[in-house]
Structure 1
């Protein structure tokens, strides 16, 4: 089932980029959007309303080309806001710039939250910084079905106040320069240029995908997820701190993780999962050394110790591995990859290890 497409245009004082983009899509035989939204300034709102709605340029495009109209009204023209909630009239200061970036980011996060839609972002209008932030925000939040484009218009017609799209009939306008030469809108050339972009959505916290976030927060979060792997183990607090984020584990799971890292540090072979009905006594002894680092000797009579009295069993090994990986993935999403317990080699010789180098790992002291 195809997804409903939303066209989101970033416009300043040239709302005609909306109809130009629609025309280019139509000419290419692409699916036209079911709804159109505009992000702009206070003056841009007035221009879009007066030209596309009051003056009827958008309706005229659909009529001229005998196409069904997209959902669009004044409520679809969104004025970006300053930090205090007032309308943004222009981008003249650092605070205006930050407010614009945050506003664009939040709108794109919102539109990409709906799994049943495909978002097409056009960055042809507005100031260059508006287009930059729209493209960057789509890189942060965009999904595989989303699209980024820029519309290219022949120089004589570009930003012309009387040109909105190539008409299917002859219509004369006059050059927007001192020559005032006559131009026929029927002859205008309009091309849609798709812009490839890197999708970083997998690097964001679920909290940033689901809740309001500023541009700077989103960038910092993605950067953290893409940065080099760093792991700190805090046995006292029973935590792994991976990519700067705490991952809470049970004492048994944390001990299992420490046990794997300890074997790696000592240059021992990565362990294999014990066979059915053949618990491994050496594994159990090594594991319990790590377990007692966390629980102390008082934990020597608990259920975990009792389960290992005949050695480490296959179910014990597999449960620990599965629970740890699940906790890492839930907390870190795709950034969890370097911290996971990973299999290597074919059965029945599969071994399990954590693909981190010793210099990437630190262990907090267990006592003062």
Structure 2
């Protein structure tokens, strides 16, 4: 277990996931809601240090929600309440409002997952739930993939891989036979409690003798490679995976100068004319295979640099007043300060939009003196063309 969890969004170091003020157990269930009490038992009583959720969230079908509500939250049998009472667990928010029914494309509750459309709706619901919970820097999320259909577990685990942070965990609960999958077993009892095996010759079983183990599952965290837009907006599974594949695919840059838009790594963004012209200058040099060049000196305006830059500004067009202002500012040439300001603004916008995937599209300086600047793309990776606004 990671003993140095860090919440990157808040910048607050905490020793363990258990130290976070909000702790959410997120699970999927089908017709066997036992995984909720089994997982809670394992987290609270078989994990060192114990991890006690402040809230439990379930995602399930309409049938699964009814099974969970009646078996876990009713007065009788009310297995969730009985577990808390048996082991003196603190208050945990878990009520009917914490059970979310997955809905289809038309907004209707899913009775079961039978079609590709049902699968897609399930994937989107699980992905958005994980994205929303991991957006809270004060929340530590524990995801259980023990319940529900296998596809539900897959989508939930993959969603955590996409959005999970250092304080988040993924697990599966293991129950010793013959208690595993027994419809009357919910957790090891503190004292003797008898149930019977299923079949033609029932045999008594003591729930006190059952063993429940939490198997923590390592997962690859891809969150740092996601653009900010995917972290902030509602997330669909297929769209997030497609965007991530584009981000980590071969770099490709398209510039649509009249529309003031670029497409970098499959992500579209609008740039102000000043930053777009600066990028276009370097993109055109990369497309022609030209060598890296030194920046203009500070305090010594260079008319070659201003000529390159103003050519791109004129191709972009826009407000005449803006273009006139740029031409007046550069009438004697471009100096190093003007160059540095344009570069800094462009790099910041690209990093905000693309995250770590911005690297191939940043103007690099060679890493040593004398500094020489270029866009590190091959000519075939740069295109000047109109972009489809509906893409």
Q: TM-score, normalised by structure 1?
A: 0.87
Which secondary structure state, in structure 1, belongs to the residue aligned with residue 374 of structure 2? Answer: strand
Q: Deviations over 1:157-215 (max 9, x none)?
A: 11112211122323332223455333322222211112222333345554544443433
Q: Deviations over 1:46-81 (max 9, x none)?
A: 221222122132122222222213111122122222
Distance change in 2, residues 1:350/1:177 (3 Å):
farther
Q: Deviations over 1:204-254 (max 9, x none)?
A: 554544443433233323333232211112333333222344333344433
Alpha-carbon distance between aligned partners in 1 of 2:162 and 2:354, rounded to the nearest angstrom: 16
In the other structure, the counterpart of 1:117 is 139
1:292–1:299: 8 Å Cα contact kept in structure 2? no
In the other structure, the counterpart of 1:238 is 260
Map 1:1-368 to 2 at 5 A: 2-3=19-20, 4-26=22-44, 27-29=46-48, 30-54=50-74, 55-178=77-200, 180-204=202-226, 206-265=228-287, 268-295=290-317, 302-346=324-368, 348-364=369-385
Alpha-carbon distance between aligned partners in 1 of 2:323 and 2:54, rounded to the nearest angstrom: 65
Distance change in 2, residues 1:308/1:174 (3 Å):
same
Q: Which moved more, 1:261-270 or 1:147-156?
A: 261-270
Q: Which moved more, 1:23-32 or 1:243-252?
A: 243-252
Distance change in 2, residues 1:300/1:34 (3 Å):
closer
Alpha-carbon distance between aligned partners in 2 of 1:204 and 1:88, rounded to the nearest angstrom: 30
Q: Which moved more, 1:36-45 or 1:238-247?
A: 238-247
Which secondary structure state, in structure 2, belongs to the residue aligned with residue 164 of structure 1? Answer: coil
Indicate the RMSD between aligned Cα atoms, in angstroms: 2.8
Distance change in 2, residues 1:226/1:182 (3 Å):
same
Offset of residue 6 of structure 1: 0.4
Alpha-carbon distance between aligned partners in 2 of 1:356 and 1:299, rounded to the nearest angstrom: 33
Q: Deviations over 1:293-312 (max 9, x none)?
A: 4459x999823233333332
Offset of residue 329 of structure 1: 2.5
Offset of residue 262 of structure 1: 4.0
Distance change in 2, residues 1:177/1:112 (3 Å):
farther
Distance change in 2, residues 1:289/1:72 (3 Å):
closer
Distance change in 2, residues 1:172/1:94 (3 Å):
same
Alpha-carbon distance between aligned partners in 2 of 1:37 and 1:300, rounded to the nearest angstrom: 53
Q: Which moved more, 1:170-179 or 1:333-342?
A: 170-179
Q: Unaligned stretches of 5+ in structure 2?
A: 1-13, 387-391
Distance change in 2, residues 1:362/1:82 (3 Å):
closer
2:283–2:382: 8 Å Cα contact kept in structure 1? no
Alpha-carbon distance between aligned partners in 2 of 1:246 and 1:81, rounded to the nearest angstrom: 30
Q: Deviations over 1:8-49 (max 9, x none)?
A: 110111111111111211211232111111111222222212
Alpha-carbon distance between aligned partners in 2 of 1:263 and 1:299, rounded to the nearest angstrom: 28
Distance change in 2, residues 1:190/1:177 (3 Å):
farther
2:287–2:380: 8 Å Cα contact kept in structure 1? no
Alpha-carbon distance between aligned partners in 2 of 1:361 and 1:183, rounded to the nearest angstrom: 69
Paired residues, what number? 363
1:156–1:176: 8 Å Cα contact kept in structure 2? no
Q: TM-score, normalised by structure 2?
A: 0.82
